[in-house]
Amino acid sequence: MIQIGDTIISLDIFEKKFCCDLAACKGICCVEGDSGAPLEAGEAEEIRENYEKIKPYMKPEGIATVEEQGFSVIDIEGDLVTPLIGGRECAYIIEENGCSWCAIEKAWSRGESSFRKPISCHMYPIRVKQYQNYEAMNYDQWTICACARLKGEQEGIPVYVFLKDALIRKYGEEWYEQLCYAAREIETGKIKFGR
């Protein structure tokens, strides 16, 4: 583990390779899972504020789900998450060219919305758990992302490099620079860990 500020970071984030391969997985992460995408404090409000810009890209079933359940729901574990259509796919899912992706992100990519997408989606395969005095960052290995791990290995892209934009969005440039410094120190053997 490495600590930067109040964030404890798993070594897997430096050592494991990952690169989404939408052509292979077809965006199945927006469909599979036990609950919706985890939302941080304030993200449901950001969705609400941008909803009229997001809505035109959503499926009718997604719109109906949001209008019935709200912009977010509390899941079985007590976490705030996006609602699901029929208990399966995210209410904000869209399908284009045989792939699933996010209506929230589509509105953002077109400059119509100020909210990109939930940070939990943007930062996947990193999962962050909040504790009283720190956050723990761990690498999540979901079976449906095997193609992303393979592509990451083939292209030599560590998780922290693949997620540069997301990590800067959440923690800032200075924090990310410290993360890269730690990665270089690990790579050159200046930081050693007993395993």
152-184 pLDDT tens trace: 999 999 999 999 999 999 999 999 999 999 999
Q: Has residue 27 got a pLDDT over 80?
A: no
pLDDT at 8: 92
> What angle, 0 to 180 degrees and rounded to 10, lies between the N-to-C axes of helices 173-187 and 164-171?
130
Q: Has residue 118 got a pLDDT over 90?
A: yes
Q: Whole-prediction pTM value?
A: 0.86
- The residue among 95 and 32 whose pLDDT is bigger is 95
Q: Has residue 29 got a pLDDT over 90?
A: no
Instruction: State the burial class of residue 102 (Cβ atoms within 10 Å of its Cβ: 0-12, 13-18, 19+).
Output: buried
Q: Has residue 195 got a pLDDT over 60?
A: no
Residue 80: beta bridge partners? 74
Neighbours of 79 (CB within 10 A): 14
% the chain with pLDDT above 70: 97
Token pair in block for residue 22:
């939408």
Domains of the chain: which residue ranges? 1-18+129-195, 26-124
Average pLDDT value for the chain:
90
How many angstroms separate the CA atoms of 106 and 82, rounded?
Answer: 16
% the chain with pLDDT above 90: 67
124-143 pLDDT tens trace: 999 998 889 999 999 988 88
How many angstroms separate the CA atoms of 184 and 14, rounded?
Answer: 9
43-72 pLDDT tens trace: 999 999 999 999 999 999 999 999 999 999
Contacts of 8 (CB under 8 A, 6+ apart): 1, 2, 134, 135, 136, 137
* Size (the chain), residues: 195
DSSP string, 7-47: EEE-THHHH-B----HHHHTTGGGT-SSS--B--TTHHHHH
Q: Cα torsion at 136, 78, 115, 13 (round to 10°)?
A: 20
Residue 75 three-state SS? coil
pLDDT at 39: 94
